[in-house]
Amino acid sequence: MKVAIILVILIGVLALLGTILIGGKGDKHYDTKTKANLSRLSWIYIILGIGIIIAFAFYL
């Protein structure tokens, strides 16, 4: 069970890092919108990560 929790956290962190790295690339006009979208997406990942941790705590 601990392996599953570690895998979920690891995949979430890697997905967040990948999103940040890919989100920073683009043309000049798209860059201003990307920052707002990237910020919202980062908050989604943070909330999702907290939710996953809480769900596992209740599951155990």
- Looking at residue 35, its pLDDT comes to 73
Give yes or no for residue 54 having a pLDDT over 90. Answer: yes
Q: Who has greater pLDDT, 27 or 52?
A: 52
Domain extent listing, the chain: 2-59
- Looking at residue 43, its pLDDT comes to 92
Rg of the Cα trace of the chain? 14
- pLDDT tens digits for 7-20? 999 999 999 888 88
What is the rounded average pLDDT of the residues 18-28?
73
- Looking at residue 36, its pLDDT comes to 76
Cβ atoms of residues 2 and 57 within 8 Å: no
- Under DSSP, the state recorded for 24 is T
Spatial distance between the Cα atoms of 42 and 38, rounded to a whole number of angstroms: 6
